[in-house]
Amino acid sequence: MDVSILGPFKVARSGADVTPSAPKLRRVLALLAVQANRVVSIDQIIQELWDERPPPSATTTMQTYVYQVRKVTRQYDQAGHDLGADDPDGSGMLHTTFGGYMLTLRPEALDALRFEQLVEKGRGQLAAGELTTAAWTFRLALQQWKGPALTAVNTGPVLQAAAVRLEEMRKSVLEQRIDIDLQLGRHHDLISELISTVSEQPTHEGFQAKLMLALYRVGRRSEALQTYQRARAALHDELGLEPSTELRRLQKAILDNDLRLDVPPGTATTGGFAGAATPPNMLPPDVAVQVGRDQELAAAGELLTRADRTTAPVIVVAGAPGIGKSAFAVHLAHKVRASYPDGQLHHRLTDDDGTAQPPAEVLAELLRVIGVAPEKIPPTLAARSQLLRSWTANRRVLIVLDDAAGIDQVLPLLPVGAGCATVVASRRRIAGPAISMTVDLAPLAIEDATQLLTTVLGAQRLAADPEGTGRLLTLCAGLPLALREAATRLSLRTHWLIGRQVDRMRVGDTEITDSMLRSHRLLPPGARRVFLVLLDSDAGAITAAAVAALTGMDEATAESYLEDLVEFLLADAYRQADGTFVYRTHALYRAAAAVLDDSARNLPLTPSPYAGTHDRLPVHQLRT
């Protein structure tokens, strides 16, 4: 949903929307959306629709509107847009509660929810003293806005109050972000933005004061004083007020060349980098439970903390969808964070829809985080890469790149200073001279998988349903993402036996499905079709000869596509007695086969780029 309208139901990932035509129906949907995940009382809906003059049929008419909203949102959710929170009873996103209704939405589904979530995150970073990171998070929050809230809805009293609340929060966040930028010495970058802002809000003394300070710091003292005079005139003409004590004190300080107005000591403002006293920390929160990875963590941690190294190490973490690559990379980064005091950067390289982000765009975002003014970011990939390397050359910085789609996406993002390092969580096996270590994550052993479940659910819960616990461990087959998701859902449903969760997972409605789909969309077209053939096989295993017979392609081409699946970590290869391979995939991937686009079954069978070059692959996961 677009925060500029909060009436049409806009999906963040796809851009599609649900736009009721009836004005009052739009108003009901907007009210439920702006109060998403909270109960909206019947009285509030009636007040919004008719204010103080509801008709005798108000309750019946209101229920009709709610029914229409429920119908539309349920159809939309069932169409695969996955906006709602967990929905065990299949009732869609709109739920009836005692005395009202609640529209359940994921934070990423609604711009207003994403805005508030980012604001909360940014304020936490600010409280922790992480100024650069907080400023970046506030920028992301403000980017959710496309215009005034609720402009496409004829608002009543309840929605009008919500619009005022959102607007006040937007102004507050904008002020906080500008204050941080001034602390970081970014006054050069703020002037044009502040001039535009005060022209829209000439009586806002806070923005006027910030513009005066920015102008003073760049040596434009006379313009700073003129800004004060314009602010004074606007206040007098529009409100009949004199400037506040704070604004008058700032004017006097500018007249006196007060040194306290200068850039804070230790803040660098040259060379294109705004710099900051507080290094950026973009790492996501650490994973609370990390089991079965002690050996891999120890080896990677030793490389990342070695004092005698002469080059920046690059560690690639590879494994099947759901194996825990991202969690491992983030946990590792937190363990070694103290060795990288100049900052920890993090960026995800593949979007939710499986689109690999261009490295030039990733570099632009990383450069902004480390303080490069937007107008000083070079236009080309090579120049941006060089600028990042020049910044890291004499610093100790850790870069975590999540969801990498290939080596070409990673190489331009690598730092060069020997004190730096990079951890890459990759969706495929990648190789190259820049890579120092590859960590191939295997499924968790049964003891570790049991420990993970026990940590979340408790030993008594597992003992209460040993048969269901065994089925869950078998189905998850050591995939931490599947185990964590199952344990989380069971912890919210204390009345469920564990076996009931197993039955729900078999229909493919899991986070594993999402992860598998992102990898599937990165495959060459022919490999995507062969993957469907593998998923449709009775035992989740197939040979190249069988694929050739089922599809009409020659056996060499079939084998090359199957090898693509191994490289993209969607299948394992097992050597048979005659030297050929049988290719297997995970039971949870097979459960998700129904959600794959049927058009993949008719994709062209063009030769794989890896046909005849299988020995170039880094390693098979071979089992005899």
Domain boundaries, the chain: 1-169, 186-262, 294-440, 446-506, 523-616
Are domains 186-262 and 523-616 of this chain identical in fold? no
Span 253-260, average pLDDT: 84
Q: Which CATH architecture has domain 186-262?
A: Alpha Horseshoe (1.25)
Residue 463 CA to chain centroid, in angstroms? 36
Q: Does 14 have pLDDT greater than 50?
A: no
Can you give the pLDDT at residue 13? 34
Does domain 523-616 sit in CATH 3.40.190.10? Answer: no
Q: How far apart are the first and last CA of the chain?
A: 52
Q: Does 484 have pLDDT greater than 90?
A: no
Cβ pair 399, 423 in contact under 8 A? yes
Range with the lowest mean pLDDT among 139-143, 257-261, 360-364, 613-617?
613-617
Name the β-bridge partners of 440: 318
Pairing of strands 398-404, 421-426: parallel
Question: In angstroms, rounded to a whole number, what is the distance separating the alpha carbons of residues 193 and 374?
Answer: 12
Pairing of strands 94-97, 572-575: unpaired
Question: In angstroms, rounded to a whole number, what is the distance separating the alpha carbons of residues 138 and 377?
Answer: 20
pLDDT digits (tens, 9 = 90+) for 411-464: 999 998 888 999 999 988 888 899 999 999 999 999 999 998 998 888 999 999
Instruction: Give me 188's structure tokens.
Output: 């050069």
Fold held by 1-169: Arc Repressor Mutant, subunit A (1.10.10)
CATH superfamily of 294-440: P-loop containing nucleotide triphosphate hydrolases (3.40.50.300)
Pairing of strands 100-103, 94-97: antiparallel
Specify the residue for token string 């939405």.
Answer: 105
Q: Does 545 have pLDDT greater than 50?
A: yes
Residue 237 CA to chain centroid, in angstroms? 46
pLDDT digits (tens, 9 = 90+) for 110-127: 778 888 888 988 888 888
Cβ pair 144, 118 in contact under 8 A? yes
Kind and range of the H or E run holding 423: strand 421-426
Confidence of residue 623 (pLDDT cuts 50, 70, 90): very low
